[in-house]
Amino acid sequence: MEVEGTGASLIQLTAKACQLFQLDVVTMQAWDKDFEEWADLDDDQTVPTNTKIKVLSTPSLVTLDASCSSEASCVGSIQSQDDSQQYEPSCSVLPVKTSTPTRSSLVTKSNWHISYKIPAFPDSVADKLRAGKLLKEAERSAVLESIYDDVKLYTYYPTALQYETIVKMLLDTYPKMKVQPDMAEADVTSLWKIRMQYKFCNARKREDSSIPAVKSRKRKAKTPPQTVKGKLDVPIWGMKNYLPSRPESEDDISINKHIEWMKLELSKKKPNYARVEECMSITLADRRRLIVEEDATSEVVKKVYPWLFEDEEILLEFKRLEGKTTMAQLLGEGLSKYGDAIIRCTLKMKHPTVIDTAMKNTSMEKDEGARKESRMHAAILSVPTLLNEKLGAMIVFADEDSVTDLSDVPVYIQVTEDEGVPEYTVIVETLEVATSKSLFAAMCNYLAVFYVLNMAYEPLLKKTLQFFQKIILNIDDTTPADKSVNKILEKLNMQMAKK
């Protein structure tokens, strides 16, 4: 099969397969290297070069390599069904069941999984499972096929809990499967859960699409998700994607696959960051529903989306919500514009000594870039004082006792020192979200958290946070600013005019 350029579309591959194997109707699958499982191709999907694909027909299933450059090479790469051959070409042929047992009805008990028993597997496969040996692709497919045929007596759509129960039963029945090279037991469990979800999704499409229960669920999945009326008419908190819609190509099953894959990827020494970024974007709508509509705590959000609390991810999430601009860009532009005026106005007031220290450090900087960053540092420290609010409700310093009861402050910056070098950690509901080496970077995370985790402005810093939002970040929404914020803006403009 000839694949030009960067890959081939599903239409191109289907046409070529029908011509090559003289078939009228085929189904295409691609090999997912991360989960070591076959997955059905979508209509708009492009298959990269060097990707293994399967061509499925009614009587047989043929595997070929999408990187083949000619018909002759593809035909030559087809492997015999005899497993005794010693060579391992890139393509293989496996037998396919030509029929599946008909089910007149499903057992409707919702708790069937509690007493579920793993079905018997062929002796050769069972022996490998008992010994904890690596299964061949065909053997692994046999395991998944047996479980699918058994479970669909009860349901075609297991819940997340039921998938977990099945996998637990499988690993408990064959405990040596839990021990895999470079994998924790939890990772093995997640991997088999995802493989099982792939199997059920593919089998429903290919084998049981005419079953009433499956047809009914398909109709529901194709129904566009209902948006919350009134919430999306205006940019809530000024965020373009405050409550976005789920991509049309995704459903509950595919979203869950992305979530489980990201959890598994987090445990790897060299994660696929590009794919993580893609999965985080795809799951944004579901994550926002969890945070906004279900009002999940930060601990719950971290359990479902642990990647959100990794380095830089809070800032990447803010950019997804805002649409195009980074928090660092917004904060930097605002402080560059108003920073000097903020400092001059604050120095005329009774203010914390840390501001004087920051200004002293600024005057000692010889590098222009370092001096600019130092002035931004001083400006950030000055804002609460300028609004007659307490700096201690926003930043807690290591060498000072907080004058504020932090039990009523869900978000703040904790400053510590490591060998004399300050570190700034953003705390959300006692959970450490991000640690930075500069106050500017910490402030980016601090402000982004309110948007990303949908946090309300606490009363102790309401005016300060409104000032950062509307004046410094220039993010507007339908909520009017406190009168004192507008008065401070007038004062700053007057100060800037004097310069």
Range 288-302 average pLDDT: 91
How many CB atoms sit inside 10 A of residue 256's CB? 17
Tabulate helix, strand, coil % of the chain (nearest 5): 50, 10, 35
pLDDT class of 13 with cuts at 50, 70, 90: confident
Residue 375: which of 335, 411, 404, 414 has the closest Cα?
Answer: 335
* Most confident by average pLDDT, 61-70, 136-145, 193-202, 475-484: 136-145
Question: How would you list the strands of the sheet with 395-396, edge to edge?
Answer: 395-396, 411-418, 421-428, 431-436
Range 267-285 average pLDDT: 92
Read off the tokens for 422. 């300050």
How far, in Å, CA of 453 to CA of 237, rounded? 12
Sign, CA torsion 352/357/359/360:
positive
For the cut 70, the answer to whether the pLDDT of residue 29 exceeds it is yes
DSSP state of 178: G
Range 432-443 average pLDDT: 93
Per-residue model confidence as pLDDT tens digits over 92-147: 333 333 334 343 344 444 577 778 899 999 999 999 999 999 888 889 989 999 99
For the cut 70, the answer to whether the pLDDT of residue 208 exceeds it is no
How far, in Å, CA of 113 to CA of 130, rounded? 23
pTM for the predicted model, two decimal places: 0.56
Q: Are strands 93-94 and 61-65 parallel, antiparallel or unpaired?
A: antiparallel
pLDDT at position 442: 95
pLDDT at position 404: 54
Better-scored residue on pLDDT, 280 or 75 = 280
pLDDT class of 187 with cuts at 50, 70, 90: confident
CA 356 to chain centre: 42
Exposed, middle or buried: residue 324 (CB in 10 Å: 0-12, 13-18, 19+)?
Answer: exposed
The DSSP line for 180-247 is BTTB-HHHHHHHHHHHHHHHHHHHHHHTSTTSHHHHHHHHHHHSPPPPPTTTSSS-GGG-TTSSPPPP
Contact 20, 1 (CB under 8 A): yes
pLDDT at position 341: 93
Amino acid at the residue 336: S
For the cut 50, the answer to whether the pLDDT of residue 83 exceeds it is no
Range 39-61 average pLDDT: 65
Where is average pLDDT lowest: 285-294, 397-406, 427-436?
A: 397-406
CA 78 to chain centre: 38
pLDDT at position 414: 92
Per the prediction, the chain carries an average pLDDT of 78
For the cut 80, the answer to whether the pLDDT of residue 318 exceeds it is yes
Amino acid at the residue 126: A
Q: Which residues of 174-199 are buried (b: 16+ CB within 10 A; e: fewer)?
A: beebbeeeebeeebbbbbbbbbbbbb
Read off the tokens for 340. 């000097």
- HSE at residue 219, side-chain half, CA atoms within 13 A, is 6
pLDDT at position 74: 36
Better-scored residue on pLDDT, 11 or 468 = 468
* Most confident by average pLDDT, 145-149, 208-212, 248-252: 145-149
Amino acid at the residue 469: Q
Read off the tokens for 421. 């070098």
How many distinct helices (H) and strands (E) make up the chain?
18, 11
Give the C-alpha distances (Å, rounded to integers) separating 491 from 344, 376, 387, 426, 480.
11, 19, 12, 30, 19
For the cut 60, the answer to whether the pLDDT of residue 450 exceeds it is yes
pLDDT at position 210: 67
How far, in Å, CA of 432 to CA of 338, rounded? 30
For the cut 50, the answer to whether the pLDDT of residue 400 exceeds it is yes
pLDDT at position 41: 67
Residue 287: which of 318, 265, 324 has the closest Cα?
Answer: 318
Better-scored residue on pLDDT, 140 or 10 = 140
How far, in Å, CA of 94 to CA of 303, rounded? 40
Run of H or E including 52: strand 52-56
How far, in Å, CA of 204 to CA of 462, rounded? 52
Exposed, middle or buried: residue 393 (CB in 10 Å: 0-12, 13-18, 19+)?
Answer: buried
